[in-house]
């Protein structure tokens, strides 16, 4: 008995040494999610505009970059160049002030979507004046808080329209879906509240352009914070803008994620970043229009060093246009706010570029915030009799980006055509951020054993992509000198010990088993309290937690096909709960797996999460614009999907497809 125990102990010890020696190769992978996010953000920022060396280089890609930004803002279905719905402007009151008057009004940017605004108009206008669109930041009182700015513009001779956001003001909708509500399904929808604000602003320019008092060829835009970022977007998208002055509204992705200032930013401060752009790309679209970037040097949301980097990179494009003097950077002392220096510079800037007059900042002067000069919220209130009964402001997030209805499919030809369109879409718009050239596996045998029955165990690690190494634990039910089926079992981030092993025992039927921990799971996990940050930060660099896991699984499938004893044509994926989403998409994109086994899969990806960010993370950029999880089993045809336990009702759509094709429906275990 003692000899047996000693031999077993010696065997375990030797296997440990073998594992150490097999895995002693030095690796540079940190497997740290923060390091990974920083690395990818840095690549985006450092490579932005790097391929542009001549004006021809830029002009060759400018239209593509423009269309990409339009898409990432959720405006692909909007009539940017076509006929738009009527604005239906309603003036609800006029306030006469000394030298100017204020029209209290609202307009309909889309049917049922109303925008509250105040229009500041100088008195006794004899010829059209330049117009300024003032876009509000994240102040709860909106046009009341920022009123000194449009008033000053009117006193200088501009017609100025100040518009409220959907989040604050008289009717309060939602900007903070992912930030505070747990609505990470916004990413799956391809929805960002910045897109609604951009559209409302474009319609605000329509309103200004329609006014007899305004010269439509001389329009400018400005704002701070959220209004600062909107100023970037508006000037990049709408060619009617001739000059723009964003304040404390942008910094590089590299800085946002490295410093974690992203955690303080609203969801509207970055587009759905399908094409991995940075604000340098947005600024390049503004060139060669006059652009004055104003930035505080101790801003808690935008590091001054990163804003300088933005300025220097964008200035290269202005230089190619032979207009380097059209871009400027004003640095002011203090935190996330205006300063007298920036305000006076802004007024002087617009006088020069829209009025064609040289007026120094000191001569232009500053705003007046004295108590006697400010009007109350009641005085500036637009909805004096209440908001329109059909106002969509509080629910616009549910309809702004149009999602398709599940198609009616009658035959295999239609099914395969739909599948091909889905895969093409996903490759570009959901998984497009992943490297075109796959990294070498650089596999290491981390551990091996013949103990525990059957034909042993081997744990391999391999490179999923640069910066990330994962492990797969393979248990052999057969000798490796013959080809046999393999079931890849996805472990869950919150599972109990032996939970996956128990699941595998129920479904394996004598197959080899591979237990896989993808990013965020087990040894490759991160603290639950970091999950909220990871979900938002990964989306800003063109990824999500779920899409990274799909990539890990796809690479694991490729790796397992290289192993002796594994039949590459007989690989099954088994998953439970949120990992079912990962399994479904990986099986679809791989296209070669024999079957899929699911337990308790989500009914849809269009569902909210815990506001803390903890728990299931099933969102993937833009995916709901083409499909949803319940459709994928049908798209896998003729590969089989089976369920352990009940089948969620939404998957009935796929079952009906099988019935139409005269094929067997799902099986349950």
pLDDT digits 0-9 by tens, 121-137: 999 999 999 999 999 99
The answer as to whether 161 is a domain residue is yes
Pair 357, 501 in one domain: no
pLDDT category at 145 given cuts 50, 70, 90 is: very high
Residue 432 backbone phi and psi in degrees, to 5: -65, -20
Spatial neighbors of 280 by CB under 8 A, at least 6 apart, are 45, 48, 49, 252, 310, 313, 314
Pair 385, 508 in one domain: no
**How far is Cα of residue 316 from the mean position of the Cα atoms in its chain?**
27
Residue 385 backbone phi and psi in degrees, to 5: -115, 20
- Residue 223 forms beta bridges with which residues? 246
Position 30 scores a pLDDT of: 72
The answer as to whether 15 is a domain residue is no
3-state secondary structure 47-91: HCCCCCCCHHHHHHHHHHHHHHHHHHCCCCCCCCCCCCCCCCCEE
Report the alpha-carbon angle 329-65-429, nearest 5: 125
**How far is Cα of residue 249 from the mean position of the Cα atoms in its chain?**
17
Helix (H) or strand (E) holding 203: helix 193-210
116, with CB counted inside 10 A (0-12, 13-18, 19+), is buried
Helix (H) or strand (E) holding 114: strand 113-122
pLDDT at 234 over 70: yes
The answer as to whether 198 is a domain residue is yes
Q: Do the beta carbons of residue 216 and residue 240 sit within 8 Å?
A: yes
Range of weakest confidence among 23-32, 484-493, 505-514, 633-642: 23-32
Q: What is the pLDDT of residues 562-591, one digit of tens each?
A: 999 999 999 999 999 999 999 999 999 999
**How far is Cα of residue 88 from the mean position of the Cα atoms in its chain?**
33
Pair 418, 355 in one domain: no
Q: What is the pLDDT of residues 602-639, one digit of tens each?
A: 999 999 999 999 989 999 999 999 999 999 999 999 99
The answer as to whether 601 is a domain residue is yes
The answer as to whether 136 is a domain residue is yes
Pair 447, 390 in one domain: no
Residue indicated by tokens 């706010």: 337
Position 667 scores a pLDDT of: 79
Residue indicated by tokens 């990992």: 579
| Residue ranges making up the domain that contains 528 | 412-668
Position 454 scores a pLDDT of: 79
pLDDT category at 527 given cuts 50, 70, 90 is: very high
Position 452 scores a pLDDT of: 65
As a whole number of angstroms, the distance between CA 271 and CA 268 comes to: 7
The answer as to whether 33 is a domain residue is no
Pair 433, 374 in one domain: no
Pair 248, 312 in one domain: yes
pLDDT category at 510 given cuts 50, 70, 90 is: confident
Pair 141, 106 in one domain: yes
Pair 452, 589 in one domain: yes
Position 22 scores a pLDDT of: 41
Pair 475, 567 in one domain: yes
391: left (phi over 0), alpha (psi -120 to 50) or beta: beta
Whether residue 187 has a cis bond before it, omega within 30° of 0: no
**How far is Cα of residue 365 from the mean position of the Cα atoms in its chain?**
40
pLDDT at 508 over 80: no
The answer as to whether 20 is a domain residue is no
Q: What is the pLDDT of residues 25-71, one digit of tens each?
A: 434 567 899 999 999 999 999 999 999 999 999 999 999 999 999 99
Residue indicated by tokens 């106002």: 391
Q: What CATH number is associated with residue 608?
A: 3.40.50.1820
User: Hey, how many other C-beta atoms are within 10 angstroms of the C-beta on 329?
Assistant: 17
Q: What is the DSSP letter of 563?
A: S
Q: What is the pLDDT of residues 379-419, one digit of tens each?
A: 999 999 999 999 999 999 999 999 999 999 999 999 999 99
Position 28 scores a pLDDT of: 52
Pair 438, 340 in one domain: no
Helix (H) or strand (E) holding 246: strand 241-247
Out of 398, 425, 442, pick the residue that ends a domain.
398
Pair 335, 437 in one domain: no
Q: What is the pLDDT of residues 152-181, one digit of tens each?
A: 999 999 999 999 999 999 999 999 999 999
Go through 19-42 and write b for each residue having 16 or more CB atoms within 10 A of its CB, e for each that does not.
beebbeeeeebebebbebbbbbbb
Q: What is the pLDDT of residues 259-314, one digit of tens each?
A: 999 999 999 999 999 999 999 999 999 999 999 999 999 999 999 999 999 999 99
Sheet holding 90-97, edge to edge: 90-97, 100-110, 113-122, 159-163, 129-135, 214-224, 241-247, 291-296, 327-332
Compute CA distances 144 → 168, 381, 462, 641, whole Å: 11, 9, 58, 58
pLDDT at 21 over 60: no
- Residue 471 forms beta bridges with which residues? 461
User: Hey, how many other C-beta atoms are within 10 angstroms of the C-beta on 363?
Assistant: 11
Query: Could you give the 3-state DSSP secondary structure of residue 584?
Result: helix
The answer as to whether 18 is a domain residue is no
Position 669 scores a pLDDT of: 75
Out of 374, 398, 422, pick the residue that ends a domain.
398
Out of 376, 398, 420, pick the residue that ends a domain.
398
- What is the number of structural domains in the chain? 2
Position 16 scores a pLDDT of: 34
User: Hey, how many other C-beta atoms are within 10 angstroms of the C-beta on 370?
Assistant: 8
pTM over 0.85: yes
Pair 388, 416 in one domain: no
């Amino acid at each position: 008995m003692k000899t047996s125990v000693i031999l077993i102990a010696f065997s375990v010890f030797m296997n440990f040494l073998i594992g150490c020696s097999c895995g002693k190769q030095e690796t540079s992978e940190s497997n740290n999610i923060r390091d990974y996010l920083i690395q990818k953000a840095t690549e985006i920022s450092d490579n932005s505009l790097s391929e542009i060396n001549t004006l021809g280089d830029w002009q060759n890609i400018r239209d593509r970059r423009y269309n990409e930004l339009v898409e990432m803002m959720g405006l692909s279905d909007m009539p940017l160049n076509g006929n738009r719905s009527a604005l239906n402007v309603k003036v609800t009151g006029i306030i006469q002030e000394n030298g100017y008057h204020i029209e209290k009004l609202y307009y309909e940017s889309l049917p049922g979507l109303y925008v509250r605004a105040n229009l500041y108009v100088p008195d006794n206008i004899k010829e059209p004046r330049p117009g300024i669109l003032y876009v509000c930041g994240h102040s709860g009182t909106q046009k009341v808080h920022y009123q000194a700015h449009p008033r000053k513009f009117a006193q200088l001779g501009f017609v100025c329209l100040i518009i409220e956001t959907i989040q604050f003001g008289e009717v309060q909708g939602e900007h903070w879906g992912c930030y505070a509500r747990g609505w990470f399904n916004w990413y799956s929808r391809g929805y960002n509240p910045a897109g609604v604000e951009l559209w409302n602003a474009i319609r605000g320019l329509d309103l200004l352009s329609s006014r007899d008092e305004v010269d439509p060829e001389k329009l400018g835009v400005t704002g701070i914070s959220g209004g600062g970022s909107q100023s970037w977007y508006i000037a990049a998208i709408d060619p009617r803008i001739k000059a723009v002055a964003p304040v404390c509204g942008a910094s590089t992705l590299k800085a946002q994620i490295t410093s974690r200032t992203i955690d303080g930013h609203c969801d509207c401060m970055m587009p759905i970043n399908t094409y991995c752009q940075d604000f340098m790309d947005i600024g390049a679209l503004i060139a060669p229009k006059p652009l004055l970037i104003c930035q505080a040097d101790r801003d808690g949301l935008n590091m001054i060093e990163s804003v300088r980097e933005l300025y220097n990179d964008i200035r290269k494009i202005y230089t190619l246009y032979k207009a380097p003097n059209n871009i400027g950077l004003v640095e002011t002392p203090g935190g996330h706010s205006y300063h007298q220096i920036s305000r006076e510079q802004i007024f002087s800037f617009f006088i020069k570029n829209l009025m064609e007059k040289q007026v120094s900042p000191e001569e232009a002067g500053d705003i007046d915030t004295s108590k006697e000069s400010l009007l109350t919220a009641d005085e500036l209130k637009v909805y004096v009799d209440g908001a329109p009964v059909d106002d969509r402001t509080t629910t616009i997030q549910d309809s702004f980006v149009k999602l398709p209805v599940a198609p009616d499919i009658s035959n295999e030809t239609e099914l395969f055509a739909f599948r091909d369109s889905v895969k093409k879409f996903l490759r570009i718009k959901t998984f497009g951020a992943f490297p075109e050239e796959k990294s070498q596996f650089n596999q290491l045998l981390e551990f091996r054993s013949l103990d525990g029955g059957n034909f042993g165990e081997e744990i391999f690690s391999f490179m999923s992509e640069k910066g990330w190494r994962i492990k797969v634990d393979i248990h052999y039910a057969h000798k490796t000198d013959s080809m046999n089926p393999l079931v890849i079992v996805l472990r869950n981030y919150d599972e109990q010990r032996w939970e996956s092993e128990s699941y595998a025992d129920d479904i394996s039927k004598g197959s080899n088993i591979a237990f896989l921990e993808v990013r965020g799971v087990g040894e490759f996990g991160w603290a639950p309290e970091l999950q909220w940050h990871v979900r938002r930060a990964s989306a800003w660099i063109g990824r999500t937690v779920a899409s990274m896991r799909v990539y890990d699984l796809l690479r694991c499938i490729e790796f397992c096909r290289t192993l002796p004893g594994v039949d590459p044509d007989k690989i099954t994926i088994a998953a439970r709960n949120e990992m079912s989403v990962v399994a479904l998409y990986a099986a679809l994109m791989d296209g070669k797996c024999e079957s899929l086994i699911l337990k308790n899969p989500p009914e849809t990806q269009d569902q909210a999460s815990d506001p803390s960010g903890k728990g299931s993370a099933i969102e993937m950029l833009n995916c709901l614009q083409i499909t949803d999880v319940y459709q994928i089993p049908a798209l896998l045809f003729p590969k089989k999907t089976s369920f352990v336990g009940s089948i969620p009702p939404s998957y009935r759509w796929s079952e009906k497809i099988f019935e139409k094709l005269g094929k067997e429906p799902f099986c349950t275990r």
